[in-house]
Amino acid sequence: MLCIETKDLRKKYASTVAVDGVDLQIESGQVFGFLGPNGAGKSTVIKLLTTLISPSNGKISVLGIDSAKHPLEIRKKIGVVLQQPSYEPTLSAEKSLEKYGMMWNIDKKTRKKRTEELLSAFGLEEIRKKKMDDLSIGQRRRVQVAREFMHDMDLLFLDEPTVGLDPAARRKLLDFLREQVKNSGLTIFYTTHVLSEAEYLCDNIAIINNGKIMAVDSPSELKNRFGHEKTIKIHISTVSEELKSKLSTIPECQIKLEPEPTVIINSTKSEIVLMNILKILNETDTKINDLSAIPTNLEEIFLKVVGDSN
């Protein structure tokens, strides 16, 4: 079942085109990553999908509901965490969760149970009585994300949810999200500038730039499509003038002397280049201390796709 579908989605502000013909088909029960540089149109697409603004042209279907005809029906079934901080400064973390449950008409017994579960899941027990105004940015962000889980929803929009979180809190949140998708069938629409997060969490990813979708696929397939280049590093004992001379004839080959002598190859034909370099190292009696091959990561693919579209 399609959770989100858009056709020729466009949004124009005066002479500025923020979203330019976006077509999306997102299946239910997955984490869908939505990546792009600042100003690419990510936040505008989220506002369109969550019915906060109306499109200039195009159609939107969310959870099988036409957003133009029944926006309130969509809002009842989704959760949204936007980039902007949202909290009541005088409420404690605990009371903030409980109040959010009341707003969604969750009964008292269920509210209490979910509050305890979420305080534990998000590592908030020690600060449960602290006022939101006294919390750090990362702690407030955790409460902001946690409170969305006070109510039942089929689709959750998370716009940069890990801003301000330390590495441990970030990983705990990502693992919690994965479990929710796995166990409840929740669909998550996820934006981030931390590409390692997207690679760890997302089942499929769309890359947007200048309001247009540049690529949509799973992280592994994006690597297959755009990640033909590999980086091979060879740590060696010494670098002689003879070695330098012979290596200078090989394209895409660099020599770094600090912090230790290293030969670095960046090539789409790294295996062939590697064989030639190993031959040269053998001819010059150069001892190899270590060798490693590093495949292209999602960040490099992102930079390539965005760079090619500019």
Across 99-118, average pLDDT: 95
Does the domain at 226-309 match CATH 3.30.70.100? Answer given as: yes
C-alpha span between 64 and 187 (Å, rounded): 13
Domain 2-223, architecture per CATH: 3-Layer(aba) Sandwich (3.40)
> For the chain, what is the largest distance between any 2 Cα atoms, rounded to a whole number of angstroms?
79
Residue 220's pLDDT is what?
83
CB neighbour list of residue 218: distance below 8 Å, 6 or more residues apart: 203, 204, 205
CA–centroid distance for 181 within its chain = 15
Residue 229's pLDDT is what?
63
Closest CA to 29 of 122, 143, 155: 155
Reported as a single tens digit per residue, the pLDDT across 274-297 is 888 888 889 899 889 888 877 677
Residue intervals of the chain classified under CATH 3.30.70.100 are 226-309
Across 74-97, average pLDDT: 92
Residue intervals of the chain classified under CATH 3.40.50.300 are 2-223
C-alpha span between 294 and 249 (Å, rounded): 23
Residue 244's pLDDT is what?
86
pTM of the prediction? 0.80
Reported as a single tens digit per residue, the pLDDT across 76-86 is 999 999 888 88
Reported as a single tens digit per residue, the pLDDT across 246-257 is 888 887 777 787
Examine the pLDDT at 308 and tell me if it is beyond 70: no
